[in-house]
Amino acid sequence: MAPFEALYGRRCQTPLCWSDLDEALIWGPYLIQKTTKMIRKIQEHIWTTQSFQKSYANNNRRLLEFNVDDKVFLKASPTKGTKRFRVRDKLSPRYVRPYEIIEKVNLAAYRLDLPVGLEHVHNVFHVSQLRKYVPDPDHAIIAKSITIIEDLAYEEHPVQTLDLRINQLCNKLIPPVKVL
């Protein structure tokens, strides 16, 4: 039997013939029964491993669905080690400002209403790159105008110095500064 037939339980549909039917008559019924049992066992093992892999993969997935006109956060750091918003790794913001969903492209893709500064970015994103924005009426956000560069970075300026002291280590003086 061909490996294709052992995996999928049917013959390959190509014009090539893997084996002739006359050979099955020569081998005898015992050998045919033995091979069919082995084929069934192989198929059962394949199905069990596929179901195990599927169950492990589905444990980490959750069904996310958004509606049109919902607000969502957009993931800002798609790859590890990239520098976003002038901060690297664990201190960088993972999701940035809420954007409005314009259109549902399919079950896993949504079109967002991006600002004019990000018009060069493709506005269709996968569900894994989005997180639902839940507005809190007690939390007032004062939005300042921020100019965003093409690589989703912006420039920060300190407002005031809150604290200044000098730490002494053996032969060194370290001046930590707390800035708002």
Could you report the per-residue pLDDT of 161-179, keeping only the tens digit for each?
888 888 888 888 888 888 8
With beta carbons less than 8 A apart as the criterion, state whether 142 and 159 touch: no
pLDDT tens, 59-68? 777 778 888 8
Mean pLDDT across 128-156: 75
Instruction: Give the model's pLDDT for residue 17.
Output: 46
Instruction: Give the model's pLDDT for residue 84.
Output: 52
Instruction: Give the model's pLDDT for residue 139.
Output: 66
**Token pair of 140, please?**
């007032």
Instruction: Give the model's pLDDT for residue 111.
Output: 93
Residue 30 in this model has a pLDDT that exceeds 60? yes
Q: Report CA-CA distances (Å) from 99 to 36, 56, 93, 150.
A: 58, 32, 16, 17
3-state secondary structure of 168: strand
Instruction: Give the model's pLDDT for residue 102.
Output: 92
Question: pTM value?
Answer: 0.45
3-state secondary structure of 33: helix
Mean pLDDT for the chain? Answer: 77
Residue 82 in this model has a pLDDT that exceeds 90? no
Residue 143 in this model has a pLDDT that exceeds 80? no
Where does the pLDDT of residue 16 fall: very low under 50, low under 70, confident under 90, or very high at 90 and above?
very low
Residue 83 in this model has a pLDDT that exceeds 60? no
Q: Which helix (H) or strand (E) holds 126?
A: strand 124-126
Q: Report CA-CA distances (Å) from 180 to 24, 25, 147, 158, 160.
A: 84, 87, 20, 6, 5
More confident residue, 5 or 103: 103
Question: Which of 38-61 are b and which e, b meaning 16 or more Cβ less than 10 Å from the residue's Cβ?
Answer: eeeeeeeeeeeeeeeeeeeeeeee
Nearest to 121 by CA among 87, 156, 149, 141: 149
The one-character DSSP state at 69 is T
